[in-house]
Every structure is written in structure tokens, then in C-alpha cells.
Chain A
Amino acid sequence: MTGRRILMALAAPVSAFAFSVLISSAVLIAVGTNPIDAWAEMLSFGMRLETLVETSNRATPLYLAGIAVAIGFRMNLFNIGVEGQYTIAALLAASAGAAVSLPAPLHILFIIIVAMIVGSLFSGVAGYLKVTRGVHEVISTIMLNAIAWAMVGYLMRTWLADPNDTTLNLKTREIAESGRFPNLNGILQTFTRDIKGGRELGGFIIIAVIAGIVFHLYLTRTRSGYDLRITGLNPFAAEASGVDPKATVVRAMLLSGAVAGLIGLPEILGDDFKYDLSFTKGLGFAGIAVALIGRNHPAGIAVGALLFGWLDSAAPILDVRGDAPREIVSILQGVVVLSAVVAYEVASRARQTQEARDTAIATAAPTDTGSDKPEGEAGA
């Protein structure tokens, strides 16, 4: 029973991945590349220590983005606004971090808290609009994304840009040494060789892991998480059970935004120590894909984030060797998401049928056959 359950749980993502490789191979053949060579090259390059470090660094914000989106998804809220939430949170947290001087751990904590508050206030607007004015969160968060980008542009030009900077690349003032997140090279190198090329294993992955664990414990162990989850499963039953639907919407949006606020911090605290115009975009949208692959489950999201992170890190080799355009990776990522969604649906139906059968067998009562059929099946 358990063995079969694990097998079924794994069957979907594995077959989704295999299917995506198949499709992408077809694309590679279409552009005149031998797919086996290309995959082999990507694999060997991808297993180098430096690529794996890069994978972790790229997966960290993707994971946080996936969690932020998943919090909404778990109660059927589609927070498309993670994109705008993390951008504005990163800008304001970077500025706030540069403006204060505190001892190291407090300084970092301060920046993290600012980012979470800004992210959650920004997504809270969408939650507020939904419960008071009935504005669908997809509409409001798309609009809020546009507002966030406009606000970032405005704030950068007016108040937050470093006045001493003379280059054309607007940037905020740098965060002092005390506000920078340490890297994990020291720890990693005690187990492996030295990391070449000046690469650093970003320390923020620890925060990401903690966020994942907290997310899981919140959903499964707290009353508030239970209310959020059951609202997603059946909003009518949840309301009748005493869940306040409006409060739950607002709470979910605030939590989602708070995690969204963390997405930009690996870059701000670990890499750039400032917000500038080259700040990474698109992580919020990628988070939607990662959450879909991960079925909104913290472990699944980790798999999705690592897969995307690895593909991003290993792909450039294709360009360098002239095998294929690196965009093949975007195709691969897209197909992974689509086939994952399909595969999960198929697997979930198979599981339902299986469970209905198991239950019917385990509870078989020969006297009341006609009425003992599972309700999910064709009604009598």
C-alpha cells in the first residue's frame, strides 16, 4: 500500500520529465542538433561543483517564489502579483538596509523584516480589494504589478537612488558589511574541493529551507493553516465550519506577500548589496511554474526549483559549444510545467479510482450493493 503510494507519487513527475526531454529532443533535432550529444554535454557540465553551486543560488529565489505562490494556490487564490511584490520589497528593503547601521545579525534581520512587511502590505492591497470590493485577485495583482514597476522607477529617480553615483545605472546606496548575508563556501569546501571562479554558495538558502519548513508546519499543524487549506478544498464547507472567508483571504494574501518579499533578498543581501536596474526580473512568474510542478507542496516545490535552477545553470554550455541555442532550456521548462500538470491530473484520477476500489473491497457488504457505490462515481 505505502510502496504503491510512493510509486504513484513519483510516477507523475518522472513521466512528466521524461516526456519533456522527448519533446525538447524533437526540437533539438528540428534545429539540426544531435540531442544525445547535447544532453550528454549538459549533464557533464551540470555535474560540476561550480554548476551545482550556481544551481543552488538560482533555486533559492525560485523556491521562495514557489512557496509564495503556493500559499495562495492552497486556498484557490492566484497571486500573480508575486512579481511586483518582490520587486518593490527588494527596493525598499535595500534602501532601508543602507540607511541604518546595526550589528550584523540584527541588520540582516531588519532588512528581512522590512522586505516581508513591504511584500505583505503590497499583496494585502489585493486581499483587501477582494474582500471589500469583490475585485478578483488575478485582476488586482496584475494591475499591482504594473503599479509596483512604476513605483520602483519613480522612487529610484527621486528619493532612493544614491546621490553620489555618477553612472547612468541608477542604484540605491550600498548596504554596509554588517547587513550582508555570509556565503556558505567555508562549509561546502570542507566536504568538497575549492570552488573555482570566485563563485559563492549563497547563504540565503538556509532562509529558504526554513521558509519551506515553516510553510509545511503552518499548513499541517496549526488551526489557522487548517482553515486556509480547507477553504481551498471546499470553501462552502469551510464557511459552515466557522472559517471567516474574508479574514482567510486577507491572511493568505498577507502571508503570500510576506514570503514574496524574501525572493529578492538572496541577490540584495548576498550578491549586489544594493538595488539597481540590473535586478533580476521574472522570478515571481517563474514561481508560478515552480509551484505547479511542486503541486504546492514544499518538497515538490524544492524539486521544481532545483530542476529549474539546474537547467538555467547548465544550459549556457549549449551556447558555448555551439550545440544549440540556450533557449532550448526555456522550451524544456515550459514543457516540464505543462506535462507535470497533465501527469498530476492523470495520476490523481488513477489514485481516486484506486482508492474507491480499495475502500469498496475493504468495506464490501453484500447486502447493500446498489446504494453502496462511491458517490464520486456516476450517481444512481
Chain B
Amino acid sequence: MRALYFAFVRERIGKAEEEISPPENIKTVADLMGWLRGQGENYAAAFANIKTMRAALDRTHVKHDALIGNAREIAFFPPMTGG
């Protein structure tokens, strides 16, 4: 699946998007954040504060307990500050 990163998440990881292949046992958004956090120091820094992290599956806001299912795109970002 495609993973997109925005704002400080993008900066800390060092890329805006990438193709990821999480293992079978990764079912929820929270599982995926936990898995990504173990992918290197840059990921650990990006996901240091998982509680405030926001996520979208196929461009729809989701909570951390949401199932990833067959989503093609997941995005991670901090709380929004537009307007």
C-alpha cells in the first residue's frame, strides 16, 4: 500500500510517500503506526507521539482502531492547522 506523510511527519521520516508492505498481523491503523515506528530512527522520531497522530485511509479521516482492510492509501499527519 501507499503511505503518505505530511508536515513534521514527512520531515522527520525524510520522504513524502512510499510503498510499504506491512506483515499480515498488522490489522489496524494503530498496528501500522507501531510497526512503522520500528522501521528506523527517523520513523521512531516521526511516530514519537502516537496519541496525537492523525490518519486517513483512502482520503477519509479514521480513528486509530480502524481496520486497514483493502485500503490502497494511508496518510499520517499531525492535527490540522488550516483556515
Whether A associates with B in a native complex is no
Q: Give me the interface of A with B, judged by CB distance under 8 Å.
A: none
Q: Give me the interface of B with A, judged by CB distance under 8 Å.
A: none
